[in-house]
Chains A and B, each alone.
Chain A
Amino acid sequence: MAEGKPRMIFLGPQHPGAPGNVAFKVWLKGEKVVKAELVPGFLHRGFEKMMENRWWEVDVVLSPRYCVEDPDNFELAYVLAVEDLFGVEAPEKARIVRTIVAEMSRIQSHLFWLMHMGGATGARYIPAWAMAAREEILRWYDYVTGHRIYHHYMTPGGIRWNVPKDFKEVTLKTLNRVMPMVKDIEDAFVNNRILRARTEGIGVIKGYVAVQLNATGPTLRAAGIKYDVRKVDPYEAYGDVDFEIPTGTEGDAHDRIVVRIREIYQSKHIIEQLVERVKPDDLNYRVKMPLLPPPTLPWPAVARHGEGMSRVEAARGEAMVHVVGIKDRKPYRVKLITPSMPLLTTVMDYIIEHEDVTIADLPIIVMSLDPCPPDIDR
């Protein structure tokens, strides 16, 4: 089998080793992966075009739907871009609550990813534990926003409605229920001898190479580079909270697991600081938005007016939204810049080129990069 021409097999999108709605054409020589080519497009819905046909505030409903796992960070990106275009600044309370909601989204995204990672490595207990912990956060979302998966709680100008009276107590209670489960997962999974043997030295992206491959998010930080948009370009309430950027040293799959687990603890730390500052009685949580954006000025002044831009650190890396308005109720152009594309193209190609990847390692490498394939398709 190992001799002769490589054999192509199609991996995904229903394969349990595929990270979601995405497939790979994998060329194999015996057990060794020679080349893997991404086949996206299973979940392409044309969000950028759809958003051009709907009102500014209606597009909030579309804005998180290209990533189930981490909706609020993408929603926040769109909302910030629209506020930037309209020249509106949200009240402080809304900014704090939106930061808490976004950090909860990061925790639940990492827990959802732990389910995938446990599945890929064959640790069957981890998916159940991770989903149980995520369920607590979904209940918290249900309580605060009225929805479990897509929340649409943020809106240009603030938050859609006020937080409940016992927001602080319920939030802390939720964290107190989630964190012991995360600790359990950490003890049983991250330091597990079998997991270490399975993930250490696999899928290595170390040092500056990660930047050259245009990777972002935890993949970049596990490579040892301290880069986080929340620190380098603070938005919302991140400027005045204290948190660290966890980084790895080896840049392998195990380091990426460790970095994400430590990010969960940092998110908890951020929420604990911010939740003290939320006052449920304060009714200044939303400002009224004008109906029309300011007019677009001719090129090159267009760069400064008539456009809005935002840059956030989503759970998978840096996300940007760029909106262009021409004094209309609808956007002229919405560009959603999402973090997953480099992970499955340049980074995967690099790993397969520089390592002896077998077909058994491929799901582990793909999962440890934690892509969200719908955000490639959009």
Chain B
Amino acid sequence: MSTVEGHAEGKDEILELIRRSLPPGKFKEVVPTRWPRRYIVFIDAWAIRPVMEALKAAGFDRFVAIEAIDWYNIEPVFELLYYVESVKLGGPLVIVRTKIPRNNPEIDTIRDIYPLAHWQEIENYEFFGIRFRGHPDLRLWILEDNWEGPPPLRKDFDTVKYVLETYYGGKKWERPVKRREPPPPRGEE
């Protein structure tokens, strides 16, 4: 394997590589950020699969995570951030950003391109209610058996209020306490 100790590639080379390898017409903009060796690709939601495939082919081999941001009051969208980095090229990071409508949050799955995306998509499904088209196993995973409410990380949902009403009988500091009967004295049975 190639070693990654040096910083052989210049900043612009990787930027050019990303621009060259992405399919034309399927992305809006590739921008360098104020962080060195981290780049952002803005795309439309329909282009997520070709863009991720092209990034993987270009050497961005390690998938890191999917992040969702609920821009509830500011704009009625969920913004999705796909983090991929390249071990082959020595550590540059690309964040693919896209937006999907808040009332119909759907996007294509990329679980067959990066294996970890399978689990990341389940996580975003349970915490934000985002549906990934083509994912066969969307279910409660981390919240399994513990949650019946709406997706808890959405901004319009007051988790604290819901938990107090549902699990604590509406009381914050005075949880209903069950008093135990004292055990029977020994030697009676």
Contacts and interface: CB of A to CB of B under 8 A. Distances in A.
Interface of A: 39-41, 44, 46, 48-49, 53, 84, 207-208, 211-214, 216, 220, 224-227, 229, 231-233, 245, 299-300, 303-304, 309, 311, 318, 320, 322, 324, 326, 332-333, 335, 337, 341-342, 345-346, 376-377
Contacts of A332: 69
A303 B65 contact: no
B41 to A, nearest CB: 10
Given A211-B61, A303-B40, A326-B74, A40 B142 contact: yes
Most B C-beta atoms less than 10 A away, residue of A220, A324, A342: A342
A231 B63 contact: no
B81 interface: yes
A225 B1 contact: yes
A216 to B, nearest CB: 7
B28 to A, nearest CB: 8
Given A299-B79, A311-B93, 9 more contacts: A41-B141, A41-B142, A41-B146, A44-B142, A48-B127, A208-B1, A211-B88, A214-B115, A322-B67
A335 B67 CA distance: 7
B103 interface: no
Contact of A46 (B28, B61, B64, B152): B152
B131 interface: no
Contacts of A324: 69
Contact of B159 (A46, A208, A225, A231): A46
Contacts of B29: 300
B144 A41 contact: yes
A49 B144 CA distance: 18
B1 A345 contact: no
Contact of A214 (B5, B62, B159): B62
Interface of B: 1, 3-5, 7, 28-29, 31, 33-38, 40, 42, 61-65, 67, 69-70, 74-75, 79, 81, 83, 85, 87-88, 90-91, 93, 95, 97, 99, 114-116, 118-120, 127, 141-146, 152-153, 159-160
A335 B144 CA distance: 21
A226 B5 contact: yes
B61 A212 contact: yes
A376 B7 CA distance: 31
Contact of B83 (A208, A216, A300, A320): A320
Contact of A303 (B31, B144, B145): B31
A377 B81 CA distance: 20
A231 B37 CA distance: 13
Nearest to B79: A299
B35 A346 contact: no
A300 B97 CA distance: 9
B116 A207 contact: no
Contacts of A41: 141-146
A226 B1 contact: yes
A94 B85 CA distance: 29
Contact of A39 (B62, B127, B144, B152): B144
